[in-house]
Structure 1
Amino acid sequence: MTDRTPVVLGIDAGTTSVKSVLFSPDGGILALARYSVAVTREDGGVAESDMDEVWRATVHTIREALAEVPGADVVAIGVTGQGDGAWLLDADDRPVRSAALWMDGRAGDRVRGWFEDGRARAVHEATGSPLFAGALPVLLAELAETEPEIVGRAALHLNCKDWVRFRLTGEKATDPSEASRTYLDTQEIGYSDRLFAELGQEELRRLLPPVQDPYSVAGTLSDPAARELGLPAGIPVAVGLVDTVASAVGLGAVEAETGFIVLGTTGTVGVTHASRDGLKTDFGITLATGRGTQVIEAFSTMSGTPNLDWVRATLRLEDADWRTVERSAAAAPRGSGGVLYLPYGSPSGERAPFVDPDASASWHGMSVTTTPGELLRSVYEGLVHSLTESLDLLELRGPIAVCGGGSDSDLMCQILADVSGRPVRRGDAEVGARGAAIVALVASGQVPDLETAVERMSSGTTTFEPDPDAHAYYAAAHRVFLDIRDSARAQWEALRALRS
């Protein structure tokens, strides 16, 4: 008789890839599979993904991970994924169109209008978060005007994580962290009737799924999904959390006033508060965690590591592996020879730590003597200057837990320590999937509570200490970075007009 290995399956459906990870009950990674998902970009800020492709990627990665662990006995399944955007299904539970993603910028002009007429303020008062172009309320308004037949046929909105979980279980639901970015009152932890009324979108309430406890079982693996995945039916699947909150769980940042950074497609800096009363600013994203009144206050930029992908391609280094690219950047002097990079590379503008749909990236301080290595390093440093600004605004002073694909870079982590002046503690790169697995352990009753699950599933860390001399240099550079950004900001609208 074949021995069975108990495992927890954590699924992280990100913007550009889906990852499935099999964890042992003590947190060890037994298998990991990743599959890319295409993001289609078009003029006008459109950014979309095929919802069926997201599911196919999920199936592929689960089957691949299971093949690496013969005899795996999956005791629970957790899912997390990218948030925001519009993921619409019809009455037959089929996508009515490709998902408009969180980075979609087609509603940029509408956002400006909502700031002028007060609707953006209504969104902020209810959700605790500023409006931006990829948020569901403004995206639905945009689609209702440009694609009225699509919105008319839509019967349900399920964000990425909720769509994947629906395909696993057939159950339709969301959780407070996901709903925080739609129409949830993050103080009352329920959909806001007042917000629907102030936006004139009462009719669209029909699209929203019920909000459930993220640490509960949404349903069990259905027969059709079980056959597709090669798993037995009946495995419990947790409701789950959006990726930012799941990553905080994966890092162990679950207690009040604990900070963290997720450096991936976006660059997110977050801190956990007991309630909205603890918010440090009025322009960060507020995410209910599903633990009473607890919220996470986060600054989540529109573009993190894509800045690095872009500079790599621009310098024609696509054929060089990242180790080679990083050696070139590391060989350049701190400060990149006086070159500063503003990392606002998203076509949709910026949302953290400020909101500006016209924001754009730029280099400053170049000359004919500037080297490719200095240009590379300036992008690393520019990203870190942006993260440090968020750390300061959130008043995070102690060691910072960091994760995400960008944190795989030793250079990035050391620059982050040197610029911010804070020790940086790097966890493994799969904290989103780890957080999803932790939630699944709690939901399925495998452990008594979240704290126990976090302790049991914790991963090792690597610490990067700030160099005092480097920090002194970068403190001066950081002030210049902020001054240049604020000066350039006055011209962003005109530059955007020239671009279009």
Structure 2
Amino acid sequence: MIVGVDVGTSVTKAQLIARDGRTSPAHEARSTVYTLPGNRVEQDMDEVVATVVTVVRAAVADAADLCPDEPVEALALTGQGDGLWLRDAEGRPVGRALSWMDGRAAPVLDRWLRDGTAAKVHARTGAGMFPGAAGPLLAHLAEHEPERLERADVAGYCVDTIAQRFTGERTVDASDASVPFLDVTSRAYDETALELCGLTRWRHLLAEPAPPGALGRLLPEAAAELGLPAGLSVSAGPFDIPACGFGAGLEEPGQGNLIIGTTLACQVLSTDPAPADNGEAAGMVLATPREGRYLKVMPAMIGTAGLDWLLKMLGVRIEELDALLAQSPYGAGGVTALPFLSTSGERAPFVDARARGRLDGLSPLTSRADLVRALCESVAYSARHCLETLGASGEITASGGGARSGEWGRIFAGVLGRDVHVREDAVGIRGAARVAWEALGVGIDTAAPGWRAAARTVRADAEAVAHYQDGYARYLRDLTAARAGW
């Protein structure tokens, strides 16, 4: 068995997963997200680490129920990416972590977009930057709080923060390090990219990426806290987006994965490390634990957060979503939407901090169902825009909270023009566990019933596909017009 942990932005989850794919119940603990003036979004690192301890201890207690005769083989960590988690040499926080949702560095990014810095870095590393990425955040602190950087020993991310606390190792997974300064083919930092961003002075804060298959060892004091044996193998990464991709079954180049969560992450497995070329310095190319395999990702800021906002405005519970969508026909009674409802704007498949949402075509006949369907259709159009930009050509899988909706799933299948294979159970944890088993040299039979149980297929309806061809073309026209006016 493996203890898998997924450290989300506000919720940390852990559960046991057996080699045959069976899982124990998931245990959860919440951490605080501090939303502050000046578009600042922060987290307390000690609190986040404490949530991991809480859920791991709870998961370990389930071992006798899941597989009483099998030992725990490893602790597999995944979690949120991007942001900036500054620590000293002992792994203690140097101030709160700056979240990936943080917007304080927007002026830095605007400057880099105007003067071509962002485009030059994207051409070198495949990393499209946004305000909550490590590059702009480091540059912001170098300009406004250099003394904070001087106190730090490492400028890292969520997963390596937890790994350092548990293993004592100063390292980072290559997937996290990929954004924005890593040459993903050599797995070494691109010194020119750092120089372009004016960050050469702070190069020493970047931990060297762990080689594929690297495993840490649990320190005795951490083991006692977690209820695990000292010296247990610890796999730290990949972060949540690639972990979900591997957990959902990405195996062959061209296959794509949608994570329909708070944000909408679209990714495609590739043998080509070159960034997606759509004339925009957007998206990212991630190194993976598998040699010669890269993940091209468009991590859009839209997703279920915008839907949650609209449902709250309309006084609708999330449990009513499927019934409401079924009440509105294709095209939502003539209502169309642009789904850009993040205060940070958009980062994929284009970058614009000024991007904002819109509803058009309203009349006295417009229903609540039409409004909700229009927004859900627009998110699906954005997913198609991202996947086409990434060159998806194979099977499409989907995961995340939004994938649980049968009606929204049918919208995605219709817009994408192909069947969508939904994975609902512990996808990020499954991906982290698979990577850990590969590092241990253990083969996993993913055709076993426990691995297949969490999958279902949403078929693309021919009538919906035909309708959404026109709807997608209109969406692209509306988007082009809106971008000129933001």
Name the SS of the counterpart of 2:29 in structure 1. Answer: strand
Give the Cα separation in 2 of the matches to 1:225 and 1:406.
Answer: 35
Residues 1:305 and 1:141: Cα distance change in structure 2 (over 3 Å)? same
Give the Cα separation in 1 of the matches to 2:347 and 2:103.
Answer: 11
Name the SS of the counterpart of 2:424 in structure 1. Answer: coil
Give the Cα separation in 1 of the matches to 2:349 and 2:192.
Answer: 27
What are the Cα deviations for residues 295-339 of structure 1, in whole angstroms up to 9, with x where unaligned?
A: 11111101311112211222233xx3x322332233222222211
Give the Cα separation in 2 of the matches to 1:289 and 1:280.
Answer: 21
Mapping for residues 397-416 of structure 1, pairs under 5 Å = 397-416=393-412
State the match for 1:459 in structure 2. 452
Q: CA RMSD in A?
A: 2.0
Q: How far is the alpha carbon of 1:250 from its aligned partner?
A: 0.9
Q: Is the 8 A contact 1:249 1:454 kept in 2?
A: no
Give the Cα separation in 2 of the matches to 1:16 and 1:364.
Answer: 33
What are the Cα deviations for residues 411-446 of structure 1, in whole angstroms up to 9, with x where unaligned?
A: 221110111111000112421110101111122233
Matched, 1:254 2:238: no
Mapping for residues 309-320 of structure 1, pairs under 5 Å = 309-317=308-316, 320=317
Give the Cα separation in 1 of the matches to 2:321 and 2:446.
Answer: 35
Name the SS of the counterpart of 1:18 in structure 2. Answer: strand
Q: How far is the alpha carbon of 1:60 from its aligned partner?
A: 1.8
State the match for 2:237 in structure 1. 240
State the match for 1:470 in structure 2. 464
Q: Is the 8 A contact 1:339 1:366 kept in 2?
A: yes
Aligned residues: 478
Residues 1:275 and 1:454: Cα distance change in structure 2 (over 3 Å)? farther
State the match for 2:112 in structure 1. 114
State the match for 1:208 in structure 2. 206
Q: How far is the alpha carbon of 1:56 from its aligned partner?
A: 1.6
Mapping for residues 139-158 of structure 1, pairs under 5 Å = 139-158=137-156
What are the Cα deviations for residues 9-66 of structure 1, in whole angstroms up to 9, with x where unaligned?
A: 1111122211112101111112211222332223332222221221122122212223
What are the Cα deviations for residues 316-365 of structure 1, in whole angstroms up to 9, with x where unaligned?
A: 33xx3x32233223322222221122111111110111111111112111
Aligned equivalent of 2:271, options 265, 274, 286: 274
State the match for 1:63 in structure 2. 57
Give the Cα separation in 2 of the matches to 1:52 and 1:303.
Answer: 29
Letter in 2 for 1:249: F
State the match for 2:29 in structure 1. 35
Mapping for residues 79-478 of structure 1, pairs under 5 Å = 79-217=77-215, 219-277=216-274, 279=276, 281=278, 283-317=282-316, 320=317, 322-447=318-443, 452=444, 458-460=451-453, 461-478=455-472
Name the SS of the counterpart of 1:30 in structure 2. Answer: coil
Q: How far is the alpha carbon of 1:277 from its aligned partner?
A: 4.5
Q: How far is the alpha carbon of 1:215 from its aligned partner?
A: 2.2
Name the SS of the counterpart of 1:29 in structure 2. Answer: coil
Q: Is the 8 A contact 1:155 1:207 kept in 2?
A: yes
Name the SS of the counterpart of 1:47 in structure 2. Answer: strand
Residues 1:474 and 1:257: Cα distance change in structure 2 (over 3 Å)? closer
Q: Is the 8 A contact 2:127 2:180 kept in 1?
A: no
Name the SS of the counterpart of 1:166 in structure 2. Answer: helix
Residues 1:330 and 1:168: Cα distance change in structure 2 (over 3 Å)? farther
Name the SS of the counterpart of 1:121 in structure 2. Answer: helix
Q: How far is the alpha carbon of 1:406 from its aligned partner?
A: 1.4
Q: How far is the alpha carbon of 1:267 from its aligned partner?
A: 0.9
State the match for 1:45 in structure 2. 39
Per the normalisation by structure 1, the TM-score is 0.90
Letter in 2 for 1:467: D
Q: Which structure 2 segments of 5+ residues have no match?
A: none
Letter in 2 for 1:325: L
Give the Cα separation in 2 of the matches to 1:465 and 1:393.
Answer: 23
Q: Is the 8 A contact 2:321 2:405 kept in 1?
A: no
Q: Is the 8 A contact 2:259 2:400 kept in 1?
A: yes
Aligned equivalent of 1:486, options 469, 480, 484: 480
Q: Is the 8 A contact 2:262 2:304 kept in 1?
A: yes
State the match for 1:3 in structure 2. none
What are the Cα deviations for residues 441-496 of structure 1, in whole angstroms up to 9, with x where unaligned?
A: 1222333xxxx56556743421111111122122212222221122122222xxxx
Name the SS of the counterpart of 2:73 in structure 1. Answer: strand
Letter in 2 for 1:207: L
Letter in 2 for 1:368: P
Q: What is the percent sequence identity of the aligned residues?
A: 37
Q: Is the 8 A contact 1:251 1:458 kept in 2?
A: no
What are the Cα deviations for residues 81-128 of structure 1, in whole angstroms up to 9, with x where unaligned?
A: 111111101244211122112222221121111122332133213311
Q: How far is the alpha carbon of 1:195 from its aligned partner?
A: 2.0
State the match for 2:8 in structure 1. 14
Q: How far is the alpha carbon of 1:278 from its aligned partner?
A: 8.1
Give the Cα separation in 2 of the matches to 1:105 and 1:113.
Answer: 14
Give the Cα separation in 2 of the matches to 1:455 and 1:193.
Answer: 43
Give the Cα separation in 1 of the matches to 2:72 and 2:404.
Answer: 28
| Segment of structure 1 superposing worse, 354-363 or 482-491 | 482-491
Q: How far is the alpha carbon of 1:366 from its aligned partner?
A: 1.4
Q: Is the 8 A contact 2:174 2:209 kept in 1?
A: yes
Q: Is the 8 A contact 1:301 1:351 kept in 2?
A: yes
Q: Is the 8 A contact 1:238 1:444 kept in 2?
A: no
Q: Which structure 1 segments of 5+ residues have no match?
A: 1-6, 493-500
Letter in 1 for 2:8: G
Give the Cα separation in 2 of the matches to 1:314 and 1:38.
Answer: 24
Q: Is the 8 A contact 1:427 1:462 kept in 2?
A: yes
